[in-house]
Structure 1
Amino acid sequence: MLTKLLFPPQWIPTQPYLSLPSLTAFLKANNCNVSQIDINTSFYDHLLIKKGLQVYYDKAQTKFHELESKKELSPEFQKQYAALSSSILFGDYVINGVEDAKNIIKSKEDFYDIEKLFNAFKILELGLKLASSAYYPSNLTFHSYDMRHSCRKSLDVLEAINDREENIFIEYFEKYTLPEVLEGNPGLIGISIINISQLIPGLTLANVIKKADPKIHINIGGSVFTRLINEISKTKDLFSVFDSVIVHEGETALLRLIKHLDNGFDIRDIPNLIYKKGPEIIVNRLSSSGEDINLLPTPCFDGLPLDKYLSPELVIPVLSSRGCYWNRCTFCDHGFGYSGKYRPRDVDLLFNDIKTLTNKHKTKFFTFQDEGLSTKIIGALSDRIIDEKMDISWLADSRFESSFSHELGSRLSQAGCKMLYFGLESANERVLKCMDKGIKKENVLKICRFCKESGIWAHLFLIFGFPTETHSEARETMDFILHNSDKIRSMSFGSFQLTKHSKVYENPDNFSISKIYKDDAIDLSLWYDCDISAGLSKKDTEGVIQ
């Protein structure tokens, strides 16, 4: 039986995502007939060409003329008219410039000209705006896909996947994706949904496939559904679009599902599987241990459009562990997406992964997808890279650990580290303690200095509006960044979000959260609005960010 694994829009198309290559490698190692398709990248590549954008431009013009023919426009139609007229106004400019813009982003010379790069991305963003206007009020960017229908409500999602007027993906999937998916008569389709921005596009894809061939078993997986186990098990209507869901880690479950469909392996013995049986939704045993990361093969990227990613070089993602070794930040629920405890991959195996992928794909650029590389792993791996004289460049997420020394920074740089992302979140000691970050400001500055002196770019993430944070504490964070701009190379920031399964969500009284807003209709939400009785209000936080 042929299994096809699909990665749907919307996700930024700069490099492959690791979910499909990991599953594909595992299934191939177990003698399964499997192939993978990055539909997300193919979609963006098809849209952002002259011929592709022309189709959306013509559609936008048709809708514009329909509105112009009306004697009077309602307020909502006035907004649509404005969006369409804006797209038509810059349409020719974007259509004629889109292919040059893509070439600049993929050029090994022009990519590093910041003005050219900025203008190229601007043209591509305008292209996405043009395409979106044809499906107003939907809005597609490189970072999100928003519709009038909420992705937080199952009833809205079910409406969205059939809304041909506002869903930008239906026609594309039917015309271009479906023939490729159905080729070879697959018996199982697996769709990986790892972000809420993929939910409506991913289920739209499932719906298109199910209508074309109801006999194909469609399985959905990914961290989105792991966070929604209770909700999915109560939402029977969604199972009209797919047949089963795998939650938590998927390798063993997917292999056993293939065996079930192939030769009758008992479906009740498939861990982490949710499926419909008659009128009931069945939730099988949830695995408490997860995969042994040291028994997993090197990810396989065969079949992916490696020449179509928006990058001057092929960048390959790798993973040194599963879970988060700290796993204590009170605002975070990342660890909930994994089974079991933190499991690091043996450094020799990790080094072999990188060496194998370097040789196979003729690239020397890598990103580590871990929530945070420990100094122990990152140091040991760097030693292997240096000893083997491997010429690679890479970036990773790390933490402000006291064990991060100047000597370690030098070794990382020698091993090819170009950039490290650090979650500082706040520069106020009290707020850091509330977050249970386990870091000290004195280490932050030292490590940023070590990175700068070693030639490693340090990027910091900040969160404003954490419960109980005051104006003065937020100002302390801003002043800390501004006064140390000689050491901190760049930073990005956002506002606190109350995520499902975080420690703040589970213990609201401990963080002065007086009310969490829940609505039975919002049954697919991964975050909630809330009232905070101490510290910055939501409006205050917006003012700080502005």
Structure 2
Amino acid sequence: MKTLLLHAPGDSPCDSPWMGVPALVAHLKKLGFQHTHQRDLDLDLYHHSLDPRTHARVCEIIKQGGKQAAPHASAKVRFFVRWFAAPATRLLTRWTLRDRKFFTEFREATSIEQQFPEEGVVRYRKTLQRVLKLMGIFYYPYLSYPKFFTKFEERNFYAVHLRLGYALRQTMELGRRALEDFYEQTVLPQVQREDYDVIGISVSVSRQLEPALVLADFLRGHGVRAKLVLGGSYVSDTFDAGWLEDSVLEKVDYVIRYEGEEALPQLIDALRDGTSTEEIPNLLYMENGERITNDRTFLKNMDALDAPDYDDLALEKYLDRPLRLPIMSNRGCYWGRCSFCSHHFTLGTGRMRARAPELVLEDMLNLQNRYGARSFFLTDESMHPEDIVELSDLILERGAKVNWSGMMRFEDCMDVPYLEKVKAAGCYSIMFGLESIAQNIQDIIQKGVNTELAWRVLEDCKKVGIKVHLFIILGTPGETEEDMNENIDFLLKNEHLYETVQIATFLLTANSPMHKKPQKFGISNVTTLSGHASMAYSENAFEVDRGLQQEDIQPYFDKLVSHPLILRKDLWGGHGFRIYQPDQPDTTWSYPAEVQAALSAAGLSDVNGHVCKAGDGTLNDVPLTGLRGSDPAEEINRLPESRPKDARNPNVA
């Protein structure tokens, strides 16, 4: 059985691969399904959109469409398309492609393990964003990238992009025709040549669903015989919310919700052998007009998985440097109590299934050997602090030269010794879901975080040189004007504590505790504005009995994200790419020069941030704090000869 797994387009900016499809490919190959291949259609579409030949074809579609506009379009719209939209799109195309040569050469001149040179990187990122903005016209409404417009651009240019996209859709369905052109140029030849038995389409975020359904229609329309399987985390989210309609299921043969490591190989076997699919877990499909929903299950042993397989992907074409390969150390959330979040529902309440730190390091080293990458992103909902300190110990003991980052909660154990250890082991940035610095909001969202702890951890990260990214939410139910201003003041007056930020307004997420028990949080009159799985965003309107109402939030948001500081620190539109730059030639960590001199005088040497006897390769696991003090020699005299290793205790330095 030949299988092709596709990551659907729509997720850009293609800075690094998603892990879902490569992880499934690795698992299938481990089970003996060697004829398994993959493509990242998001990456392919971006480079397809960079090609002048693509622009020429799209402009020709617009030109001909303007002459033969759909009869249902108004005369005003047809006039707009013919005499404004077509010329404007050609001009935008030329403007976008003016730096194409520089963009390509700049990326190709930097290998995937290196960091972009400072000179030229901002120009490169601006070109990257311009291409995405143009794609928002070509593929409207299937693709749209408003997050790459600043508030100034949104007020002055984004409306023009939307009007262009809307008019071109109304008159000639440009977005769908441009997507089908992409599928015809890139996907169809491979599918027809290889004659696959199964084609899986992965949808990780909401923006990918419509392009995935267009792909399913396209493949069916071209007589592709393969069984079509839809999966991915967003499919699970829409199923949980009750928004996955039969009309979506009818476009494919099967849907796999939740995890696919058990369901997909069983489905392939059943299709090969012609046996029943009734007992295959997590499977969803239509049979004789009736929806069949099989039982749910979870993969219990995460250690049974191999490192993701990126063999079929052109890693050098991903747009960021150094390239970050995603890996996983756990699945689920060890906290799982946040009142605004539904991940614990989708991933399994009370379940955090950890992968042994030894295997996580082996994943890093295997991927480094296979692909030359040295930077990794741990995709965990939240890296567990005990596992991370154990991973750090292993990295330091092995002398591995790796960089890594990921998301964490604020924890008491994250003091200077802890952070210095993980920094020494290659952790260069941490993403924190702060949401709000106001303690009132922390109590409402039930993250279990005291804001004094958050302040201390942020300051300690700054001390040791770990970059911080913050996730912020404005408008949590119960948020007062005082809470809002406290949060905004924190961001504007403490820029030294964080490198980048993402700011969002509150959304009432289906199956979150707030959604399930709204009265408990002072929420009433909940109305689903759109509950259709194919909508880009399904939102709930509501009222609150205390604090700011929904309509009060937008002015605060607009003012904050328009601030020059936030514009610069915004992850997508500003210089947010710097959060992923290690800013160091290698990952070895050394004590300052005066400490090195004191170490030498004491007959000791520094190995990757640990102290060992000079000429002796045996590491003594000693505290990494203190040695940055004013009297290094005195601190060295206080070092213990040895210390029992307790890797599971994050409070041990």
8 A Cα contact 1:298 1:353, kept in partner? yes
Amino acid in structure 2 at the alignment position of 1:124: L
Structure 1 pair 533–116 and aligned structure 2 pair: CA distance change class (3 A): farther
Q: Aligned residue for 2:120?
A: 116
Identity of aligned residues (%): 27
Q: Aligned residue for 1:3?
A: 3
Structure 1, residues 401-422: CA drift from partner, whole Å, max 9, x if none?
A: 1111101111111111111110
Q: Aligned residue for 2:490?
A: 480
Q: Aligned residue for 1:156?
A: none
Structure 1 pair 450–3 and aligned structure 2 pair: CA distance change class (3 A): same
Q: Aligned residue for 2:623?
A: none
8 A Cα contact 1:59 1:134, kept in partner? no
Amino acid in structure 2 at the alignment position of 1:48: L
Alignment of 1:243-262 (within 5 A): 243-262=253-272
Q: Which sections of structure 1, spanning at least 5 residues, go unmatched?
A: 145-158
- For residues 257 and 54 of structure 1, the distance between their equivalents in structure 2, rounded to whole angstroms, comes to 42
8 A Cα contact 1:57 1:91, kept in partner? no
Q: Aligned residue for 1:152?
A: none
8 A Cα contact 1:106 1:311, kept in partner? no
Structure 1 pair 136–418 and aligned structure 2 pair: CA distance change class (3 A): closer
8 A Cα contact 1:398 1:420, kept in partner? yes
Amino acid in structure 2 at the alignment position of 1:528: N
Note if 1:534 corresponds to 2:552.
no
State which of 405, 421, 434 in structure 1 corresponds to 2:431. 421
**Cα distance, 1:470 vs structure 2:** 0.9
Structural RMSD (CA): 2.8
- For residues 302 and 396 of structure 1, the distance between their equivalents in structure 2, rounded to whole angstroms, comes to 23
Largest Rg, 1 or 2: 2
SS for the counterpart of 1:176 is helix
- For residues 349 and 327 of structure 1, the distance between their equivalents in structure 2, rounded to whole angstroms, comes to 24
Q: Aligned residue for 1:444?
A: 454
Q: Which segment is superposed worse, 314-323 or 54-63?
A: 54-63
- For residues 22 and 133 of structure 1, the distance between their equivalents in structure 2, rounded to whole angstroms, comes to 33
Structure 1, residues 15-70: CA drift from partner, whole Å, max 9, x if none?
A: 11101111111111111131111111111112113333333344445556779xxx
State which of 50, 68, 85 in structure 2 corresponds to 1:48. 50
Amino acid in structure 2 at the alignment position of 1:473: D
**Cα distance, 1:181 vs structure 2:** 2.5
Q: Aligned residue for 1:296?
A: 305
SS for the counterpart of 2:429 is strand
- For residues 84 and 537 of structure 1, the distance between their equivalents in structure 2, rounded to whole angstroms, comes to 42
Residues matched between the structures, number? 526
Note if 1:21 corresponds to 2:22.
yes
8 A Cα contact 1:106 1:313, kept in partner? no
Q: Aligned residue for 1:127?
A: 131
8 A Cα contact 1:331 1:502, kept in partner? yes
8 A Cα contact 1:91 1:130, kept in partner? yes
- For residues 495 and 92 of structure 1, the distance between their equivalents in structure 2, rounded to whole angstroms, comes to 35
Q: Aligned residue for 2:106?
A: 104
Q: Aligned residue for 2:412?
A: 402
**Cα distance, 1:424 vs structure 2:** 0.6
**Cα distance, 1:272 vs structure 2:** 0.6
8 A Cα contact 1:104 1:111, kept in partner? no
- For residues 143 and 191 of structure 1, the distance between their equivalents in structure 2, rounded to whole angstroms, comes to 25
TM-score normalised per structure 2: 0.75
Amino acid in structure 1 at the alignment position of 2:473: I
- For residues 334 and 230 of structure 1, the distance between their equivalents in structure 2, rounded to whole angstroms, comes to 11
Structure 1 pair 538–357 and aligned structure 2 pair: CA distance change class (3 A): same
State which of 333, 337, 349 in structure 2 corresponds to 1:324. 333
Structure 1 pair 302–113 and aligned structure 2 pair: CA distance change class (3 A): closer
Q: Aligned residue for 2:589?
A: none
Structure 1 pair 125–485 and aligned structure 2 pair: CA distance change class (3 A): closer
Structure 1 pair 194–532 and aligned structure 2 pair: CA distance change class (3 A): same
Structure 1 pair 363–246 and aligned structure 2 pair: CA distance change class (3 A): same
Structure 1, residues 422-461: CA drift from partner, whole Å, max 9, x if none?
A: 0110111111011001111111122112211211111111
Note if 1:140 corresponds to 2:116.
no
Note if 1:279 corresponds to 2:289.
yes
- For residues 391 and 10 of structure 2, the distance between their equivalents in structure 1, rounded to whole angstroms, comes to 33
Note if 1:198 corresponds to 2:208.
yes
Amino acid in structure 1 at the alignment position of 2:341: C
- For residues 290 and 378 of structure 1, the distance between their equivalents in structure 2, rounded to whole angstroms, comes to 22
Structure 1, residues 263-300: CA drift from partner, whole Å, max 9, x if none?
A: 1343111001011111211111112x434211112211
- For residues 225 and 95 of structure 1, the distance between their equivalents in structure 2, rounded to whole angstroms, comes to 35
Amino acid in structure 2 at the alignment position of 1:133: I
Structure 1 pair 76–426 and aligned structure 2 pair: CA distance change class (3 A): farther
**Cα distance, 1:519 vs structure 2:** 6.0
8 A Cα contact 1:190 1:218, kept in partner? yes
SS for the counterpart of 2:191 is helix
